């Protein structure tokens, strides 16, 4: 695990760029266990490799990840105070899965500015080739941006919201690919525009997404996600 203290650089990068990365936060063994339990849960749900929404409600290992004290303390240092858990989602992203279109997470959640953030936990080594993240640094300072409808089909193995529309990114911002190793965590501001590549590899690209809301703040539950603020203590 990483050291239990946030550096000024960690927070400053998040404020300036809209994201920051903590290397090696989760052990390789924990990553493998999360994948194994997700595979079993997928078999029980009988939905193929469709993303698992709110797996923490069914398996304790996902609750342990969502409520991991080191993880939640990092998030609390990046937003406006103590946080509750809001959502977990496990992405299998099998070979050929189309990436998520450009989006801002807070477009869906509708939380107050500075009250919502996500932790994108890499459970395998991830690059552009196997479906890595793409971010537009600095877009977090724009607030809610306009979207446009798009006709792409994300496919049955992708989140239903993945390709309905895309965020319109002002031309002054430029994309950056995020390359992370197994066990790394990418912390994402709710307003940061980001997307993901198609998985061109021959294996799944497993990721666990955990999202958080400042205590007492409003949010949209969503018909698909059915978000609930959950005390983590």
pLDDT for 105-140, tens place per residue?
999 999 999 999 999 999 999 999 999 999 999 999
Q: What is the pTM of this model?
A: 0.93
Give the residue extent of every domain in the chain: 8-214
Question: What's the whole-number mean pLDDT along residues 176-191?
Answer: 98
Question: What's the whole-number mean pLDDT along residues 177-188?
Answer: 98
As to burial, measured by CB atoms within 10 angstroms (0-12 exposed, 13-18 middle, 19+ buried), residue 127 is: middle
Give, as one character, the DSSP assignment of residue 103: B
CATH 1.10.357.10 fits 8-214, yes or no: no
Structure tokens at 120: 């994108």
φ, ψ dihedrals at 120, nearest 5°: -100, 105
Residue 127, SS3? Answer: coil
Q: Is the predicted pLDDT of residue 35 greater than 70, yes or no?
A: yes
Q: What is the structure's pLDDT at 19?
A: 97
């Amino acid at each position: 695990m990483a050291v239990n203290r946030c550096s000024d650089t960690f927070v400053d990068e998040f404020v300036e760029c809209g994201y920051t990365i903590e290397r090696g936060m989760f052990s390789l063994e924990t990553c493998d266990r999360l994948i194994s339990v997700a595979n079993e849960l997928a078999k029980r749900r009988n939905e193929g490799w469709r993303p698992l929404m709110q797996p923490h409600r069914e398996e304790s290992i996902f609750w342990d990840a969502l409520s991991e004290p080191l993880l939640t303390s990092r998030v609390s240092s990046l937003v406006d105070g103590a946080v509750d858990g809001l959502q977990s989602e496990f992405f299998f992203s099998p070979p050929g899965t189309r990436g998520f279109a450009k989006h801002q997470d807070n477009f869906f959640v509708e939380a107050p500015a500075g009250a919502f953030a996500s932790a994108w936990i890499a459970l395998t080594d991830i690059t552009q080739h196997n479906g890595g993240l793409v971010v537009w640094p600095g877009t977090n300072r724009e607030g809610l941006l306009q979207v446009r409808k798009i006709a792409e089909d994300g496919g049955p193995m992708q989140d239903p919201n993945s390709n309905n529309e895309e965020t319109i990114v002002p031309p002054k911002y430029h994309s950056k690919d995020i390359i992370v190793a197994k066990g790394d965590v990418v912390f994402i501001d709710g307003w940061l525009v980001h997307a993901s590549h198609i998985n061109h590899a021959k294996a799944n690209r497993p990721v666990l997404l955990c999202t958080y809301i400042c205590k007492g703040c409003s949010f949209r539950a969503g018909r698909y996600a059915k978000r609930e603020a959950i005390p983590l203590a």
